[in-house]
Amino acid sequence: MSTPGFHQRIRFSINGRIVEREVPVRQTLADFIRDALGLTATRLGCEHGVCGACTVIVDGASVRACLMLAVQADGAEVRTVEGLAQDDELSPLQKAFLDHHALQCGFCTSGFLMTATDLAAHGAGSNETEIREALSGNLCRCTGYANLVDAIAAVLKEQAAKRE
Amino acid sequence: MKPPNFLYARPDTLEDALRLLSEHGTGAKLLAGGQSLVPMLNLRMAEPKLLIDMNRVAELSGIERENGKLRIGALTRHRALETSREAAQAEPMIARAAREIGHLAIRNRGTIGGSIAHADPSAEWPLLAVALDARVELRSTARTRTVAAREFFTGPFTTAAGADEILTAVEFPCAPQQSGFGFQELCRRPGDFAIVAAAGRVRMRDGRCIGATLAIGGADATPRHIAEIDRIVAGSRGEDAVVREAAAAAARVLDPSGDIHASAEYRRKMAAVLVTRALREAFASVAANS
Ligand SMILES: Cc1cc2nc3c(=O)[nH]c(=O)nc-3n(C[C@H](O)[C@H](O)[C@H](O)COP(=O)(O)OP(=O)(O)OC[C@H]3O[C@@H](n4cnc5c(N)ncnc54)[C@H](O)[C@@H]3O)c2cc1C
Ligand code: FES
Ligand code: FES
């Protein structure tokens, strides 16, 4: 165990790229991603876990980047919305968001996409009530939720059909 | 909305964590899932000198069944408990309660030990621990002791744990044969903290109740075990009049306080409603299982 300090060197992977930096231990993962790495699609709304705008995926599970310290990501695999598209090909969820008009100002969109990516990766059902419950931790102030639910349901349905 | 300055340590073993805690005393804070502590840091409601991050202490997570008990390591995440088959087989109310905690991203990080140490009077794990008469294991450099959950919570956000102690595990009794549970929670939106919640279990033999345990969260300074309920429902078949009498008894002993979410009077009334629903659910589920 290293001695307690105000700074620590960390190394982790973000969207498949390895980064190694010294970070102030008080810096949140969200601030590190935005300010140090310049990946500004991860948004900060409330900074206390309520709005979901900062949701990213750490080691396969969606988490609030405002409630994790950057130093805690040491050794982890982090995915942000910038990592969803493959060679400029949008992910199925991103495409569905476009097709279903699931965004307006876009402030909440990255958070919703990361939550939905976690759902899709864990084989969630496409039942509307379940999707609504799963989205309860993400707030959108302009679109209303109907188009978001439709977009995500369409992708989960297609996924389920492929599995059969 | 940024955390204050603090020192950070990331021990790999419980022994190192305990040593750091004993050296730094009340200036140190333990970091588990961070889903209550980091908001408090961001809001500057907590300003520790040293943060001891327990997330790499592997020996603190895990779910184990032994001798009729389910032992859950403090660092076990809400999500792991929501999806654990072992936990669901031992005590199905665990998965039922876990689902109600916050949102997926919160459950992916938050831990049972953190929730119990935090002692929010509306939180699910403290309620379940009191309802089911769980025991809480505490370790310091000097000793290990266990405390009944019913004695562990001493007030809102206050517990019997000392400043040098780490909560290491929670031990639930496995659900007895021929019993059923009820878990009822009132909140405005999925994922919100409960305004009031009730959790209980009834045991039956030959169609008659031979024991009941029930607790209420959100309607007093700590989750409240309502001992009278056992006396009222024992010997009954779960008839409506008995259930109503139990609900009235619960409402009488509670001392709720009002806040922006609900008035004290509303909480008391809802407590009675939720006790009624929880007991009905419990009786119905034994009937369905046998
Ligand atoms: C948006 C949102 C919604 C939420 N909704 C709910 C809800 O509906 N129901 C609910 O119950 N909770 C809810 N929570 C809180 C969540 O469950 C937390 O995970 C939990 O309260 C604390 O657990 P933690 O592991 O995150 O602990 P931390 O935040 O890391 O720690 C909390 C406190 O406990 C202390 N501590 C932690 N672990 C230990 C230990 N092993 N020994 C001694 N002390 C320890 C810490 O020092 C700190 O003071 C919500 C949180 C958020 C952000
Ligand atoms: S900014 Fe993290 S949840 Fe709102
Ligand atoms: S699209 Fe504007 S907040 Fe959701």
Domain co-membership, A100 together with A78: no
Domain co-membership, A16 together with A78: yes
Q: Please provide the DSSP assignment of B133-165 as one string.
A: T-EEEEE-SS-EEEEEHHHHEEETTEES--TT-
Domain co-membership, A96 together with A79: no
**Contact partners, residue B283, CB within 8 Å, separation at least 6:** B180, B202, B209, B237, B238, B243
Per-residue pLDDT reduced to its tens digit, A6-46: 999 999 999 999 999 999 999 999 999 999 999 999 999 99
Contact A25, A69 (CB under 8 A): yes
Could you tell me which CATH number the domain at B61-172 has? 3.30.465.10
Domain co-membership, A150 together with A120: yes
What pLDDT does residue B25 have? Answer: 87
Contact A12, A76 (CB under 8 A): yes
pLDDT of residue A62 exceeding 70: yes
pLDDT tier, A1 (very low <50, low <70, confident <90, very high otherwise): low
Domain co-membership, A73 together with A122: no
Among A55, A83, A111, give the residue marking a domain's end: A83
Measured between CB atoms, does A119 come within 8 Å of chain B? yes
Rounded CA separation A31/A35 (Å): 6
- Residue at A143 is within a domain: yes
Q: Could you tell me what percent of chain A has a pLDDT over 70?
A: 99
pLDDT of residue A2 exceeding 90: no
Among A31, A52, A83, give the residue marking a domain's end: A83
Q: What angle do CA A89, A94, A100 make, to 5 degrees?
A: 130
- Residue at A1 is within a domain: no
- Whether the pTM exceeds 0.90: the reply is yes
Give the closest of A4, A64, A67 to B8, CB-based.
A4
Residue of B nearest to A132 (CA): B190
Measured between CB atoms, does A52 come within 8 Å of chain B? yes
The structure tokens listed for A91 are: 């992910």
> Using a CB-CB distance cutoff of 8 angstroms, which residues of chain B are in contact with residue A71?
8, 10, 53
Domain ranges of chain B: 7-53, 61-172, 182-289
In chain A, the number of structural domains is 2
According to DSSP, residue B203 is labeled E
Among A50, A83, A116, give the residue marking a domain's end: A83
Contact A25, B8 (CB under 8 A): yes
Distance from CA of B240 to the nearest CA of A (A): 31
The alpha-helical segments, DSSP class H, found in chain B are: 14-24, 37-42, 78-83, 85-90, 93-99, 104-109, 112-118, 124-131, 149-152, 228-233, 240-253, 264-289
Domain co-membership, A135 together with A158: yes
What pLDDT does residue B108 have? Answer: 98
Rounded CA separation A134/B99 (Å): 11
Rounded CA separation A128/A126 (Å): 6
Residue type at position B225: H
Helix (H, G, I), strand (E, B) or coil at B188: coil
Q: Domain holding A72: CATH number?
A: 3.10.20.30
Rounded CA separation A51/A44 (Å): 9
Per-residue pLDDT reduced to its tens digit, A63-118: 999 999 999 999 999 999 999 999 889 999 999 999 999 999 999 999 999 999 99
Could you tell me which CATH number the domain at B7-53 has? 3.30.43.10
Rounded CA separation B277/B273 (Å): 6
Give the domain B182-289 fold. Answer: Enolase-like; domain 1 (3.30.390)
How many angstroms does the Cα of residue A52 sit away from the middle of ligand 2? 5
Rounded CA separation B262/B266 (Å): 6
Measured between CB atoms, does A9 come within 8 Å of chain B? no
Domain co-membership, A50 together with A99: no
**Residuewise pLDDT in 10s, chain B (290 residues):** 899 999 999 999 999 999 999 999 899 999 999 999 999 999 999 999 999 999 999 999 999 999 999 999 999 999 999 999 999 999 999 999 999 999 999 999 999 999 999 999 999 999 999 999 999 999 999 999 999 999 999 999 999 999 999 999 999 999 999 999 999 999 998 889 999 999 999 999 999 999 999 999 999 999 999 999 999 999 999 999 999 999 999 999 999 999 999 999 999 999 999 999 999 999 999 977 76
Q: Which domain holds residue A25?
A: 7-83
- The string over B103-113, giving b where at least 16 C-beta atoms fall within 10 Å of a residue's C-beta and e elsewhere, is bbbbbbbbbbb
Interface confidence (ipTM) of the complex: 0.96
Rounded CA separation B119/B102 (Å): 15
